[in-house]
Chain A
Amino acid sequence: MTDASVPQNVAPPPAEVDDVELYHAHSWITKYVFCQDAKVIAIQYAGTAIAVGVLALVLSWVIRLQLAFPGAIPFIDANVYYQSVTMHGMIMVVYMLTAIFLGGFGNYLIPLMVGARDMVFPYVNMLSYWVYLIATLVLVSSYFVPGGPTGAGWTLYPPQSILTGTPGYDYGIILMLASLILFIVGFTMGGLNYVVTVLQARTRGMTLMRMPLTVWGIFAAAVMALLAFPGLFVACVMLLFDRTLGTSFFMPSLVELGERKDYVGGSPILFQHLFWFFGHPEVYIVALPAFGVVSDLISVHARKNIFGYRMMVWAIIAIGVLSMVVWGHHMYVSGMDPWFGFFFAVTTLAIAVPTALKVYNWVLTLWHADIHFTTPMLFALGFLVTFVNGGITGLYLGNVIVDVPLSATLFVVAHFHMVMGIAPVLVIFGAIYHWYPKITGRMMDERLGKIHFWITFLGAYAIFFPMHYLGVLGMPRRFYEMGETAFVPASAATLNIVITVIALAVGFAQSIFFYNLFRSLKHGAPAGGNPWRAASLEWQTPETPPGHGNWGAHLPVVYRWPYAYSVPGAPEDFLPQNAPPMSGEHSP
């Protein structure tokens, strides 16, 4: 089968860009600090994201300790509790997950997987990281100003987020908004790079429909992020003006502590629209790269081509498009026209179709496959289970009539932690175990990896699964203290203690991962160029770890898709993308 639109006598055009004029580092500073090499930027991005992620993990312990032992720990007062909830949410969603998937894996994998020497705009790429770092520092600095960070909740809903009763009224909220604005500016620079690199810098033979699904996932997520983040940008700028200049974009007329404020006529609902216009796509900005990575992990470690490649690509595109028109389902409880709610319920449930398609295809890829239960594979399978679980509760909550009573309960907490907390984090771990040999040239310890997996996977289930029950009982989220209620039995408090103990244990258990990560740098078994015998392009670099410019003297030429596993008649059970065709090779 050939492409009819391309005349056969015309040679394929050479790589789409002339080899980018490569930037060369001259000193230690430009090589490791202010570096324009995407691989170094990737490590910087991931390192920063993991560092703030650990901070957010510690904050989650503060939340859990208060929920299990209300008032027992003296320094956790209501302010500290709300500040912890806010910072935990914001850091995990924006500064950790978004940054590590796009800034970390995107930077490292896109150029290698599409066969480019580097990103298309390396200088802008470097700038992107430094602006991100400044944004992170501004955010963390709010711990060191009078009043501390804002406690408005990660959604920052006005009017409460900029009124005096909310902790962090003086500086915390201003720093939070400034930090988000910076993050978006930095991210836009990076996102532009990822998209243009995928479009322009693919090597010869690497057509769109031959890209690994990881690249498709990151590409689609980057496009969505570029279109969704302006929503948060506009919301933050306008909220900042409401707070500092006294404008009334979002602030209605109100009386605070017996004193009439100067605000008049503003619309808090407008903020919610702008915020969720960003907020919902954000879920898929995190999920799509995870989908892509999981597809690759499953295919490599099951030694089988991905089932339904074209469906997988179109599902990614469909999810991306649909996710831009579902934001209203976060606002069912804000009150809306019933037809409006109906529209959003329909689009929300419609997303389940392409998502379920992907799940079926992963399962069918595993069907009758030669499954190797390596650590990355375990994490990929853990993702599958967790994601299906979180997705199904999403179907409940997508319906207006079910969402309204459950919205303010722990059921929602359980749902989104399963679907966009635990599931993507499992993928991040799997991806690190999978690509670590390429990044460092050494393997991570398998035994420690498996221990890490089982503790994390089972532990995360033990933490979040019972929360569904607490939510159905009516246990509210966001509450600092429950007090005496008629409808919550005493056993709920016991369950809360159990969850907290497990959360602490699972949190500490992550030190196994960090020990493995750092120990393997020096003492891991040498990996060689392609330890997993994978077919995609990043494993075929002449050097491991890939050198500056990735490909030595000549760019690779791609002859097939990245999932040529167990091809009948092939000498090995995989065919690298850049291996010249065998005589008589047939379509896989």
Chain B
Amino acid sequence: MSVMGLFFILLFSFAMLWLARQGVFASHWLEEGEVAHHGRADATAPPPAAKVGLAIFLAVAGCLFSLLAAAFFMRGDAPDWQMPPIPGVLWFNTAVLAASSIALQLALVAARRAEFERVKTALLIGAATAGLFIIGQIWAWRELIELRLFASSNAANAFFYLLTGAHALHVVGGLVALARTTDKVRGAGRVTRALTTSVELCAIYWHFLLFVWLLMFAMLIGWTDSFGVICRRLLS
């Protein structure tokens, strides 16, 4: 549960910073007449609703993965815990997911410059590499199953399937959104502001997925074991 503590401290700081910028420290209720919406001095346009929605969704998904990590570290203490050998394909998958993330970032850069063809290519590359990542994850599962390391044979295996599965489902959901965005781009024939926003949202989500995967991968290959020991020392 120390993981949750860290996650919440992070989230709470963001929320407080944001609340302050939104003017919760101002005394608008004491004033009459209109007051500006934001404490922003430059009166720039507020972020689109979809982007705020995504930010909040990421907080929820982050909470979900933090809880899974917390459970992983707490359960990892038991004497029966035996991590499965990590399939080598995961290293390849990590590289592929990173490539996917980079492709979407390039798509975003291209969209901001209104280079239509480049956006299209980058989106397709991003989708293809993400698809490849999913196939790679299924391959990793197959390898474990061939070694007769089932979810029921050890809790560590079960966590391997649970963590990678939960992450893969989020990637699949992202792929649906990415497919819709790609479809819209092809239909529009040129880069509009709404499309740029869509591409941006996809890119943000992809970076989030990469970040979660990197942490998760570190957990699975045992780089965070000493962190787990500290966690259990703190709260048990």
B and A form one assembly: yes
Binding site for B on A (CB under 8 A): 1-3, 5-7, 10, 12-13, 16-17, 120-121, 188, 192, 195-196, 199-202, 204-205, 207-210, 223, 226-227, 230-231, 233-234, 237-238, 241, 245-249, 262, 264-267, 270, 273-274, 277, 309-310, 313, 317, 321, 324-325, 337, 340, 557-561, 563, 581, 585-588
Q: When chains A and B are docked, how far (Å) is the Cα of A233 from the Cα of B169?
A: 15
Q: B158 near A3 (CB under 8 angstroms)?
A: no
Q: B63 near A230 (CB under 8 angstroms)?
A: yes
- In the complex, whether B74 has a CB less than 8 A from a CB of chain A is yes
Known: A237-B162, A559-B34. 17 other contacts (CB 8 A): A1-B30, A3-B26, A6-B39, A12-B34, A201-B49, A207-B37, A210-B28, A230-B67, A241-B158, A246-B152, A247-B151, A247-B155, A273-B70, A317-B19, A324-B8, A558-B34, A586-B32
- Neighbour of A3 across the interface among B35, B59, B70, CB < 8 A: B35
Binding site for A on B (CB under 8 A): 1, 4, 8, 11-12, 15, 19, 22-24, 26-41, 43, 45-46, 48-49, 52-53, 56-57, 59-60, 63-64, 67-68, 70-71, 74-75, 78-81, 151-152, 154-155, 158-159, 162, 235-236
Most buried by B among A209, A277, A324: A209
Q: A273 near B39 (CB under 8 angstroms)?
A: no
* Given A6-B39, A205-B35: A265 in contact with B53 (beta carbons within 8 A): no
Q: When chains A and B are docked, how far (Å) is the Cα of A267 from the Cα of B33?
A: 59
Question: Which residues of A are found within 8 Å of B67, using beta-carbon distances?
Answer: 230-231, 234, 274, 277
Select from chain B the residue with minimum beta-carbon distance to A231. B67
Q: When chains A and B are docked, how far (Å) is the Cα of A309 from the Cα of B31?
A: 13
Question: Which residues of A are found within 8 Å of B33, using beta-carbon distances?
Answer: 559, 581
Q: When chains A and B are docked, how far (Å) is the Cα of A264 from the Cα of B48?
A: 50
- Neighbour of A557 across the interface among B34, B43, B53, B71, CB < 8 A: B34
Q: A245 near B56 (CB under 8 angstroms)?
A: no
- Neighbour of B1 across the interface among A273, A309, A313, A587, CB < 8 A: A273
- Neighbour of B29 across the interface among A12, A188, A238, A561, CB < 8 A: A561
Q: B32 near A209 (CB under 8 angstroms)?
A: no
A-B contact pairs, 24 of them (CB 8 A): A1-B27, A2-B31, A2-B35, A6-B43, A7-B41, A12-B34, A12-B35, A13-B37, A209-B23, A209-B29, A210-B29, A223-B15, A226-B59, A231-B67, A245-B158, A246-B151, A246-B152, A265-B80, A266-B155, A267-B78, A270-B71, A274-B67, A557-B34, A587-B30
Question: Which residues of B are found within 8 Å of A201, using beta-carbon distances?
Answer: 49
Question: Which residues of B are found within 8 Å of A10, using beta-carbon distances?
Answer: 36, 43
Question: Which residues of B are found within 8 Å of A1, using beta-carbon distances?
Answer: 27, 30-31
Q: B151 near A6 (CB under 8 angstroms)?
A: no
Q: When chains A and B are docked, how far (Å) is the Cα of A384 from the Cα of B158?
A: 48
Q: A227 near B24 (CB under 8 angstroms)?
A: no
Q: When chains A and B are docked, how far (Å) is the Cα of A69 from the Cα of B113?
A: 78
Question: Which residues of A are found within 8 Å of B75, using beta-carbon distances?
Answer: 249, 266-267, 270
Q: When chains A and B are docked, how far (Å) is the Cα of A325 from the Cα of B11?
A: 14
* Given A192-B57, A249-B158, A265-B79: A207 in contact with B46 (beta carbons within 8 A): no
Q: A12 near B36 (CB under 8 angstroms)?
A: yes
Question: Which residues of A are found within 8 Å of B154, using beta-carbon distances?
Answer: 248
Question: Which residues of B are found within 8 Å of A196, using beta-carbon distances?
Answer: 49, 52-53, 56
Q: When chains A and B are docked, how far (Å) is the Cα of A313 from the Cα of B36?
A: 20
Rounded to whole Å, the gap between the CB of A318 and the closest CB of chain B is 12
Q: A247 near B158 (CB under 8 angstroms)?
A: yes
Select from chain A the residue with minimum beta-carbon distance to B66. A230
- Neighbour of B35 across the interface among A207, A233, A267, CB < 8 A: A207
Select from chain B the residue with minimum beta-carbon distance to A16. B46
Select from chain B the residue with minimum beta-carbon distance to A203. B37
- Neighbour of A561 across the interface among B23, B24, B28, B34, CB < 8 A: B28
Q: When chains A and B are docked, how far (Å) is the Cα of A453 from the Cα of B135?
A: 61
Q: When chains A and B are docked, how far (Å) is the Cα of A95 from the Cα of B117?
A: 50
Select from chain A the residue with minimum beta-carbon distance to B26. A3
Q: B57 near A13 (CB under 8 angstroms)?
A: no
Q: When chains A and B are docked, how far (Å) is the Cα of A337 from the Cα of B56?
A: 35
Rounded to whole Å, the gap between the CB of A305 and the closest CB of chain B is 9
Select from chain B the residue with minimum beta-carbon distance to A343. B235
Q: B49 near A227 (CB under 8 angstroms)?
A: no
Q: When chains A and B are docked, how far (Å) is the Cα of A6 from the Cα of B27?
A: 13
- Neighbour of B38 across the interface among A13, A325, A561, CB < 8 A: A13
The 7 closest A-B pairs by CB, nearest first: A265-B80, A561-B29, A246-B152, A247-B158, A230-B64, A265-B78, A209-B28
- Neighbour of B36 across the interface among A3, A267, A586, CB < 8 A: A3
Q: When chains A and B are docked, how far (Å) is the Cα of A490 from the Cα of B39?
A: 67
Select from chain B the residue with minimum beta-carbon distance to A337. B236
Q: When chains A and B are docked, how far (Å) is the Cα of A587 from the Cα of B27?
A: 11
Question: Which residues of A are found within 8 Å of B78, using beta-carbon distances?
Answer: 265-267
Question: Which residues of B are found within 8 Å of A3, using beta-carbon distances?
Answer: 23, 26, 28, 31, 35-36, 39
Select from chain A the residue with minimum beta-carbon distance to B79. A265
Q: When chains A and B are docked, how far (Å) is the Cα of A69 from the Cα of B106?
A: 73
Most buried by A among B1, B41, B67: B67
Q: When chains A and B are docked, how far (Å) is the Cα of A237 from the Cα of B52?
A: 28
